[in-house]
Homo-oligomer: A and B are copies of this chain.
């Protein structure tokens, strides 16, 4: 008798094995009880035929409620009709913990109820599939940068300055040093890293205390931010499209089963291959106007605008060269038109909107000093950042990709709240 996982069944056909897990579902038919077991690696139907099993095992298969933890023993059978291709000709059942009245039943529940029970909701088939896709996305992201010679640089969460106002920052008392703030981005620190290590990426939680109740906002979300020395905006776009292709194609290949569970139509994802379309902000504005959107040159795009623009394309679209006014102070201006910032946003198709924002960074000390003044930012807080332009400044560029938006897009979710194990939103920080 061997303790194995459901994902190992293929190696044990016609052998007797023991599996441990949870009763996911069951049904009965005459002298047969069908128990669907889940163990985190998969699902398998265990067939209890009354003459073949001890009386108490059969009775338990009858009695146990959903999510009871059990140990089942039986003989592995190839069964092409079964999900996963195998089932268990059961011989015994041991109860580890008998459960009744599990709160989440196969019937429909309201979203608030499910979020209140997130610690249990995570056991549902769809949520398990999302978490496995999320994990594969994270691994693809890290593998991509690791394989290209980037060095991971974990940037700090607690940061000393509220450089762009405190309205969207979480703050905390930091001993005798006054207030500290939860980071909104590791980019400025990643720039220091790029000048030390050439190519770096930071990948960690970031925070926005924004009072946004949309389906596209979380107060706590993960972001990956590569930063590359000696790179310009074109290099940045080349990197972004190669990166997106790698992540999407890897997940499609490795998480086919989970995407099927999520009923994801993958036809559009399959098209995420280089080259991705690249249009200027000006061209994007033209698209909006042609589609009857009332839009003024100089504004930033809202979610609805992004949908109109991205609907023109089968693949994610890269929109570059935005009006500098709507972009951050550290972005380099376009030498051919100083009203424009050398910025790029990548908009996902199917209404998922912005998933990447990036730019070439201003690398000239005096220009950056002027920008800081124009933006009325406290120069002192940026002295260390200015040092990067005082000592061995080089052209450099990078971008940030929001993990939960990417998970949401690849999984085809309606709302970011299912893209992270325990979502934090303006009206929820439990469980």
Q: What residues of chain A have their CB less than 8 Å away from a CB belonging to chain B? A: 5, 7, 20-23, 39-41, 67-69, 96-97, 99, 102-103, 117, 119-120, 122-123, 127-128, 131-132, 134-135, 138-139, 142, 146, 149, 151-160, 170-177, 180, 182, 189, 192-199, 204-205, 207, 209, 211, 219-220, 222, 229-230, 363, 384-385, 387-388, 390-395, 420-422, 424, 426-431
With beta carbons under 8 angstroms apart, the residue of B40, B119, B219 that contacts A192 is: B119
A426 — which chain B residues lie within 8 A by C-beta?
175
Q: Are A135 and B158 in contact (CB under 8 A)?
A: no
Q: Are B149 and A5 in contact (CB under 8 A)?
A: yes
With beta carbons under 8 angstroms apart, the residue of B99, B394, B431 that contacts A20 is: B394
With beta carbons under 8 angstroms apart, the residue of B20, B135, B157, B384 that contacts A152 is: B135
Q: Are B99 and A156 in contact (CB under 8 A)?
A: no
**A426 CA / B420 CA spacing, docked (Å):** 31
A-B contacts, 12 of them at CB < 8 A, read A40-B194, A67-B391, A102-B392, A128-B196, A131-B193, A135-B146, A135-B152, A153-B421, A157-B205, A158-B220, A158-B424, A177-B428
Q: Are A422 and B5 in contact (CB under 8 A)?
A: no
* Nearest B residue (CB) for A21: B198
Q: Are B97 and A155 in contact (CB under 8 A)?
A: no
Q: Given A96-B394, A119-B192, A189-B421, verify A40-B154 contact (CB < 8 Å).
A: no
CB distance from A151 to the nearest CB of B (A): 5
Oligomeric state, in number of copies? 2
CB distance from A401 to the nearest CB of B (A): 15
With beta carbons under 8 angstroms apart, the residue of B117, B174, B198, B392 that contacts A41 is: B198
Q: Are A429 and B180 in contact (CB under 8 A)?
A: yes
A172 — which chain B residues lie within 8 A by C-beta?
170-172, 182
* Nearest B residue (CB) for A7: B149
Q: Given A211-B175, A393-B69, A429-B177, verify A195-B155 contact (CB < 8 Å).
A: no
Q: Are A430 and B97 in contact (CB under 8 A)?
A: no
Q: Are A156 and B220 in contact (CB under 8 A)?
A: yes
CB distance from A237 to the nearest CB of B (A): 18
**A390 CA / B151 CA spacing, docked (Å):** 44
Q: Are A122 and B69 in contact (CB under 8 A)?
A: no
**A431 CA / B177 CA spacing, docked (Å):** 13
Q: Are A99 and B431 in contact (CB under 8 A)?
A: no
* Nearest B residue (CB) for A211: B175
Q: Are A20 and B230 in contact (CB under 8 A)?
A: yes
Known: A155-B421, A158-B170. 5 other contacts (CB 8 A): A96-B393, A119-B385, A138-B152, A174-B429, A384-B431
Q: Are B387 and A40 in contact (CB under 8 A)?
A: no
Which of A97, A119, A428: most chain B Cβ within 10 A? Answer: A119
With beta carbons under 8 angstroms apart, the residue of B139, B152, B198, B387 that contacts A119 is: B387
A171 — which chain B residues lie within 8 A by C-beta?
172-173
Q: Are A193 and B421 in contact (CB under 8 A)?
A: yes
Q: Are A394 and B97 in contact (CB under 8 A)?
A: yes
A429 — which chain B residues lie within 8 A by C-beta?
156, 158-160, 174, 177, 180
